[in-house]
Amino acid sequence: MKIVEYKTGHEERLAKLKVTLSNPLSLCWQVTKKCNYNCSFCLSGEQDQTDLPLSKIKSIIDVLAESNLLRIDFTGGEPFLRSDFCKILTYASEKGIETLVTSNGSIWSEKIASTLLETNTLLLISLDGDKEIHDKSRGKGAYSKAVENIKRYRDAGIPLRINCLIRKDNVDKIDYVHQLVKDLRIDRLFFILIAPQGKAYTDTELLLSDKERVFYLDRIKALKKVSGDHPFITIQDYSELGNHHSCFLIDSKGDVISQGYSQDDCIKVGNILTDGLGKCWNNPIVNHKGHFLQYSYMFNYYM
């Protein structure tokens, strides 16, 4: 597949582009804010123990399917902590929606693997670096568990991508993660530069300075050139995307958030259950063009 990436210098052309969308194309959905880890950089912020029941989740999927949504990126918290998560994936898939799941890699089961296969779901597992830094971030034993489960999901034939959030404490692990992903024979590696969101909005110790951001972005870009397709590296730096970034997110209560670069740009536009999708989507705060660009153009590199 030919991958198209956003290039700086396209701003003028993008600014002239006129986009009208009646619905979002894709969205992230925090199906739970519960997690078995407690990372200091967690983008979803503080944990919440209350989840929507399966009946409400299904109603939301019905609404999204009726709006011809293309893709849901299920995230958390840790989605696999929901005992009904396989049912959620299957339901979304039966409605014709493409599915992705972001996980910390701590959970494996035959049932999850077969559901991921049946629904052709892309599984995204996070790695922070070597055992030392990964366990320091997530807890003792987390690294071994993630690597072991990556192998199991890989051997089960699940399409996989490794996500690595780059922040102050793991910038020296970029090459390590690249080599590990190569050794694990995973073909997709996604480096995300930390944004001031969630816990990283108040706990700013892990944020990169502008100078560091430019430096490490250049290093990853150089690595991407030599890496080729094994693994194919994609990079996300929200600060570079500026107004050309806009993510639509449903949280664990059904609140709908229009997300930008910083936590200050993450604004609640309604609740999917009480307001419906149309009202949330047509809130003037939502950046339709940014959304279109993110999902139809820049984010081709999701895959």
| Chain residues in the site for ligand SF4 (CB under 6 A) | 35, 37-39, 42, 44, 76-78, 104, 138
Q: How far is the CB of 38 from ligand SF4 (least distance, A)?
A: 5
Tell me whether residue 42 or residue 122 sits nearer to ligand SF4 (CB atom): 42
Strands 232-236 and 188-193: parallel
For the chain, the C-alpha Rg in angstroms (whole number) is 18
Q: How far is the CB of 137 from ligand SF4 (least distance, A)?
A: 7
What one-character DSSP code corresponds to residue 302? G
Cα(154)–Cα(188) distance, integer angstroms: 12
Q: How far is the CB of 102 from ligand SF4 (least distance, A)?
A: 8
Tell me whether residue 137 or residue 287 sits nearer to ligand SF4 (CB atom): 137
Q: For the CA atoms of 272, 278, 284, 287, what is the dihedral angle to 10 degrees?
A: 80
Tell me whether residue 138 or residue 173 sits nearer to ligand SF4 (CB atom): 138
Q: How far is the CB of 106 from ligand SF4 (least distance, A)?
A: 8
Which two structure tokens, joined as six digits, stand for 72?
């849901």
Tell me whether residue 86 or residue 200 sits nearer to ligand SF4 (CB atom): 200
Q: How far is the CB of 94 from ligand SF4 (least distance, A)?
A: 27
3-state percent breakdown (helix, strand, coil) of the chain, nearest 5: 45, 20, 35
Tell how many helices (H) and how many strands (E) occur in the chain.
12, 10
Tell me whether residue 108 or residue 292 sits nearer to ligand SF4 (CB atom): 108
Q: State which amino acid sits at residue 229.
A: D
Tell me whether residue 28 or residue 293 sits nearer to ligand SF4 (CB atom): 28
Which residues are bridge partners to 270 per DSSP?
Answer: 256
Report the side by side order of strands in the sheet with 122-126.
232-236, 188-193, 160-166, 122-126, 98-103, 71-75, 26-30, 247-250, 255-259, 267-271
Tell me whether residue 38 or residue 114 sits nearer to ligand SF4 (CB atom): 38
Q: How far is the CB of 203 from ligand SF4 (least distance, A)?
A: 13
252, 51 contact by CB (below 8 A) = yes
Tell me whether residue 72 or residue 280 sits nearer to ligand SF4 (CB atom): 72
Q: How far is the CB of 45 from ligand SF4 (least distance, A)?
A: 9
Q: How far is the CB of 77 from ligand SF4 (least distance, A)?
A: 5
**HSE of 65, CA atoms in CB hemisphere, 13 A:** 15
Cα(188)–Cα(166) distance, integer angstroms: 16
244, 14 contact by CB (below 8 A) = yes
